[in-house]
Structure 1
Amino acid sequence: MNRVSLTLFTCFLIILLKVKTDTEVDVTILESATAIGAVCLDGSPPSYAMDQGSGSGSSSWVIFIEGGGWCSVIADCVTRAGTFQGSSLYRNKFRFTGILDVNSEVNPDFYNWNRVALLYCDGSSFFGDVEYVDPQNKLYFRGSRIFKAIIQELVAKGMNFADNIIFSGGSAGGLATILNCDTLRFLAPDAKKIKCVSDSGFFLQAPNLPGATQRETYFGHIVQLHCLFPENIVEDIQTPLFLIESSFDAFQVESQYTPYVGGGRTEWYDCVNVSLSLCNSTQLEKLQEFHTTFIQTLQNLVYSHSRGMFVHNCYRHGQILANDGWKFSDTLENKTIADAMRDWYFDDADAFVYIDTTNSPRNCTL
């Protein structure tokens, strides 16, 4: 390698390292939250990560709620409390990618906004508020208090007077976004514009599909049943909401549907865990049944011009925190997920509903 090539290669490595460093954001432990009992499963104070905005984005905010499933029984919660998903003791950095990315090529519309990740440590989508603590397991179920404590901290940092707030989340965090969407509007009453974006947070109740009883029991252990399933509450949300979903959502298919269909996890393993090309005709029919129910459930929601949707058919769960699922996603009507969400947020289109009704799942880079 000659000197010029070596110099260029060295510069390239420096750039890569700089980008990596820039997107590793320090975690802030909110010690003051313990005064109101806003604590993680293990009793440690909650945490968040924030990268301050600049220039034209200094008075605008992107809030993202981290996902990570739930614990529905005490034994699972005890295990979770010993990890970063149930405690603030196990990490000091959080990687900002996708809608949180500082790179203007990846995130051209929001890269210079104040960007904040609420780190998930309560196991119930920021929705629990139980005063009693069992002295035997010493678990705290205080997700609602955590949410309010962190938002009040951000309000004190200037978010209450924001020009723009995008309140978003993925998976369990996407559900938390739906559940807390109007609450954020209440906690930041002077912000000029607030809209909510839920990524892969529309978990189906789907009473007509196999596994309905098990889904209701599972989620019923987390919070009161009918207050959780989005299909029962989305119509009542007053704040504008954008849903980003796969009609073949990989998590829901693998954990809440196929275990209760024709042979369960063993017979379905190769189809849903290895490659869709290994699905037999009966399995494809069952996946199409899930897809049809998902699409119909969304289409049955009472229309609201303030509600947008981007529903694709990629076999995937989670989009907007991954660069390949954000700016570089597959397109519907020539729009990526980032394009469609941007148009909806800034009211730059006549319609904001994009649904791929193709009834076959795809292995795709999205």
Structure 2
Amino acid sequence: MNVNAVLVAITLALLTCGPRCIYSDDQRLLVNMTLVRNASALGAFCLDGSLPAYHLHRGFGGGARNWLLQFEGGGWCNSTKSCLDRANTRRGSTRYMSKWEVFSGILSNNASLNPDFYNWNRVKLRYCDGASFAGDAVYKNGTSLLYFRGQKIWEAIILDLLPKGLGQARKALLSGSSAGGLSSFLHCNNFTKYLPSTASVKCLSDAGFFLDERDISSNHTMRSFVKDVVSLHGVEKNLDENCTASYLNFPELCFFPQYAMKFITPPFFILNSAYDVYQFHHILVPPSADPQGHWNRCKLNPAACNPQQLNALQEFRRGMIVAVGLSYKYSRRGGFFINSCFAHGQSESQDTWFAADSPRVHNRTIAEAVGDWYFNRRATKEIDCPYPCVTTCHNLIP
């Protein structure tokens, strides 16, 4: 490449990035935070009353009118105490958040690291409400004030992005990881209402297919937890009406993807581990179900699990596969990639998204599978063989 060509390439990169992103010494893409200044007019606040925020890196070339929105994850709070504690951290306030975010994996702007979405407009929605961007309530007790305004935060960010080009999108992908992956299920239908009718709109959940399963003590620990979240945050009114009508006496079930999925109309892709580490540690074996710590060694290293524990893990995997299969029973446009890595969240890490040693199912990386599905290159409904047959998982229980 001659000197002029190099100068042109550098200039193009700088113009694309603009003043709101920088590159660190190791070439990571760092993108600056944008506060939603008019969010207060909509009543959109983080738990502590601070303004919501997002990070936007502009697309270029053929991707200039395509948009990828990524919900940040970070668990939930299900009581006033846990939410008050959360409000004093980066999970409940933009005051404590890093002002620069690393964009990697599905958010990377490097064609060799993110071949299908590198030149799209990529947005990371910061998570500060504690209920997967779905609540709408306020808590006051005379001394404490908490804003459960996740739904308003979602709306405020979208309204801020529409005049920045989202309103003219040709292609769009609503994505998220962990609690953010759950947000993709909860907001997929609503997302289409903001975009042109001609736009190709699809949704992706990474590590967000949280199961409604009994724990090892046969208790519905996760269901009880979710019920508290839905009640405290005022989530019920923002759940899909068709879903809640189907589960009239248990509307909180519509917070679980396995029940909400059949009411989602845009094409949807589920990326999940069959042995999702969060679900292993908090749904299958929550601390309350193992007070003596018999599962501690198994939790840290699957090779240390005894036959009974391995059997419980395999049953959990079967539950995941059955739930995903039922969700797609009537869907030809959907896709899934269920691998057997002991991991949680695989789309934002370059190692797991697209690298030489990334996890593969039938010799396809996650990035290739998602890209093939989004662009209709080939059907993508991949399920890995059960542990311990896998050879491409290089980070078990990271």
- Alignment TM-score, normalising by the size of structure 2: 0.83
**What letter matches 1:71 in structure 2?**
C
C-alpha distance after superposition, 1:260-294 (max 9, x if no partner)? 79745711111112x21211111111111111111
**What letter matches 1:285 in structure 2?**
N
Distance, in Å, in 1 between the alignment partners of 2:284 and 2:114 is: 34
- Call closer, same or farther: CA 1:126–1:191 in 2, change over 3 Å: farther
C-alpha distance after superposition, 1:199-247 (max 9, x if no partner)? 0100001258645421111011111511201111101100110000111
2:110 aligned partner: 103
Distance, in Å, in 2 between the alignment partners of 1:346 and 1:27 is: 30
SS at 1:124 equivalent: coil
Check if 1:216 corresponds to 2:216: no
1:331 aligned partner: 360
- The answer to whether the 8 Å contact 1:64/1:117 transfers is yes
1:276 aligned partner: 302
**What letter matches 1:245 in structure 2?**
N
- Call closer, same or farther: CA 1:232–1:73 in 2, change over 3 Å: same
Gaps of 5+ in 1: 1-14
Higher mean alpha-carbon deviation, 99-108 vs 194-203, is at 99-108
SS at 1:197 equivalent: strand
**In the TM superposition, what are the counterparts of 1:1-366 in structure 2 within 5 Å?**
17=25, 19-20=27-28, 23-90=29-96, 91-131=98-138, 133-190=140-197, 192-207=199-214, 210-223=217-230, 224=236, 225-259=252-286, 263-264=290-291, 266-273=293-300, 275-301=301-327, 302-328=329-355, 329-349=358-378, 351-360=379-388, 364-365=393-394
- The answer to whether the 8 Å contact 1:195/1:239 transfers is yes
SS at 1:99 equivalent: helix
Distance, in Å, in 2 between the alignment partners of 1:305 and 1:263 is: 41
Report how many aligned residue pairs link the two structures.
348
- Call closer, same or farther: CA 1:345–1:26 in 2, change over 3 Å: same
Distance, in Å, in 2 between the alignment partners of 1:179 and 1:173 is: 10
**What letter matches 1:330 in structure 2?**
P
Distance, in Å, in 1 between the alignment partners of 2:179 and 2:214 is: 21
1:6 aligned partner: none
1:158: Cα distance to partner?
A: 1.3
1:10 aligned partner: none
Distance, in Å, in 2 between the alignment partners of 1:121 and 1:29 is: 13
Higher mean alpha-carbon deviation, 202-211 vs 329-338, is at 202-211
- Alignment TM-score, normalising by the size of structure 1: 0.90
- Call closer, same or farther: CA 1:109–1:216 in 2, change over 3 Å: same
C-alpha distance after superposition, 1:180-213 (max 9, x if no partner)? 0011001224451111000010000125864542
1:168: Cα distance to partner?
A: 0.3
Higher mean alpha-carbon deviation, 291-300 vs 23-32, is at 291-300
- The answer to whether the 8 Å contact 1:98/1:321 transfers is yes
Distance, in Å, in 2 between the alignment partners of 1:30 and 1:172 is: 21
Higher mean alpha-carbon deviation, 65-74 vs 87-96, is at 87-96
Distance, in Å, in 2 between the alignment partners of 1:265 and 1:156 is: 55
SS at 2:95 equivalent: coil
- The answer to whether the 8 Å contact 1:38/1:146 transfers is yes
SS at 1:184 equivalent: helix
- The answer to whether the 8 Å contact 2:212/2:222 transfers is yes
Alpha carbon RMSD of aligned pairs, Å? 2.0
- The answer to whether the 8 Å contact 1:159/1:191 transfers is no
**What letter matches 1:74 in structure 2?**
T
Higher mean alpha-carbon deviation, 216-225 vs 72-81, is at 216-225
- Identity rate, percent: 38
- Call closer, same or farther: CA 1:199–1:71 in 2, change over 3 Å: same
SS at 1:120 equivalent: coil
- The answer to whether the 8 Å contact 2:61/2:119 transfers is yes
- Call closer, same or farther: CA 1:168–1:262 in 2, change over 3 Å: closer
SS at 1:139 equivalent: strand
1:161: Cα distance to partner?
A: 1.2
Distance, in Å, in 2 between the alignment partners of 1:337 and 1:265 is: 38
Gaps of 5+ in 2: 1-22, 231-235, 237-251
